[in-house]
Amino acid sequence: MTRPIIGRVVPERWRTTGATAPGQRTVGEPGTARIAVDLLGGDQAPAVVVDGALRACRADPSLHLTLVGPADAADAVLAALKPGDRRRITTAITPTDTISGAVAAVAQGRADALVSAGDTRATVLAAARELGRWPGIRRPALTAVLPTVAGRVVLLDVGSSVDPDEETLAWHARLGAAYAAVVYQVPAPRVGLLTIGTEPGKGDRLRRALPNLLVDLPLPGGARYAGLVEGGDIVLGRAADVVVTDGFTGNVLLKGLETAYALTRPPSPDKTPPPRAALLLGVSGTVVVCHGAAAGPDLAAGIALAADLHRRASVAAIADLLRYSEVSHD
């Protein structure tokens, strides 16, 4: 299991409606989930974040939110809630650098997870610095789940490492396999490498070099390397359960498919499509990143995802599967 990390304190002014006192590390009641929400994250923040926080709070009576941002945005959430629900809200009044404030809430034990639709690079850097990276992980991976004809596929990276090397993508293959095995209970996940064709030697230098490494790479959860996959294979979902690519290509693919599905409908037979949010894997904490263009329902789904991952201790279980026991702040 990963050990908790005490992060550096960022300047902020805490107001509480009955929750944690400033600087006090606590553990939530069984079944509760304490989620730090970056109120200024997103293109339409804080309005859409306020909307998402209200939706999430009303849908989950065991949810406790720490709202990190300016006082007026936090007050908009409190004013819209019933008096009984307001006791589940803590505010951290931070006019700027709200991402660092949200990360610090997790690092200092005041929250169990965080959600932000803010700048991806700033979120990744703050999480890596304050929460610590798992050994061997130089670049954490943003991990998303897409609906497919066959069910769903885990896609990583979708925006964290835009120019990775072979070692980074090899680690991402491990992370994706562990994620599929732990969160979705996929037996022996099939891991594919995204490229422009399934014939050997297709793709750029990185894609030509990586298959030789992935073939012999030990993967967690009984996973195995399934070979090269194309974009169409992701929609069908029959060739691989996990698809590895660089963050540039993954982000373009993710946004393109999500927009197409929004205009038509997701191909998944599941009644509930996966949330439009990504988990940052490779840091010692639960960090969920939403699109900058996320709407209120997307933010609510991201908060619900963070709460579910915390309640199931998913990040710790993934770390256990990968046999990690400590984190690095290098």
> Cα separation of 276 and 263, whole Å?
15
> Which residue carries 């989950």 as its tokens?
60
Helix/strand/coil for 222: helix
pLDDT of residue 136: 85
| Mean pLDDT for the stretch of residues 190-204 | 87
Residue 27 confidence (pLDDT) above 70: no
| 220 within 8 A of 174, measured Cβ to Cβ | yes
- Give the model confidence (pLDDT) of 255-302 as tens digits: 898 888 888 888 876 667 788 899 999 999 999 999 888 889 999 999
pLDDT of residue 181: 95
**Average pLDDT value for the chain:** 85
What is the percent of the chain where pLDDT is above 70?
88
Residue 25 confidence (pLDDT) above 60: no
pLDDT greater at residue 243 or residue 330: 243
Residue 116 confidence (pLDDT) above 90: yes
What is the percent of the chain where pLDDT is above 90?
54
Best CA proximity match to 99, nearest among 76, 125, 74: 125
> Cα separation of 300 and 311, whole Å?
16
How would you list the strands of the sheet with 63-69, edge to edge?
Answer: 13-16, 89-93, 63-69, 33-38, 113-116, 286-290, 277-281, 141-147, 152-156, 242-244, 190-194, 224-229
| Residue 143 amino acid letter | T
Helix/strand/coil for 199: coil
pLDDT greater at residue 269 or residue 140: 140
pLDDT of residue 271: 63
pLDDT of residue 12: 42
pLDDT of residue 222: 92
> Cα separation of 69 and 17, whole Å?
16
Task: Specify the pTM.
Answer: 0.86
- Domains within the chain, CATH numbers bracketed: 1-133+282-330 (3.40.50), 141-281 (3.40.718.10)
| 307 within 8 A of 63, measured Cβ to Cβ | yes
What is the crossing angle of helices 166-183 and 314-321, to 10°?
120
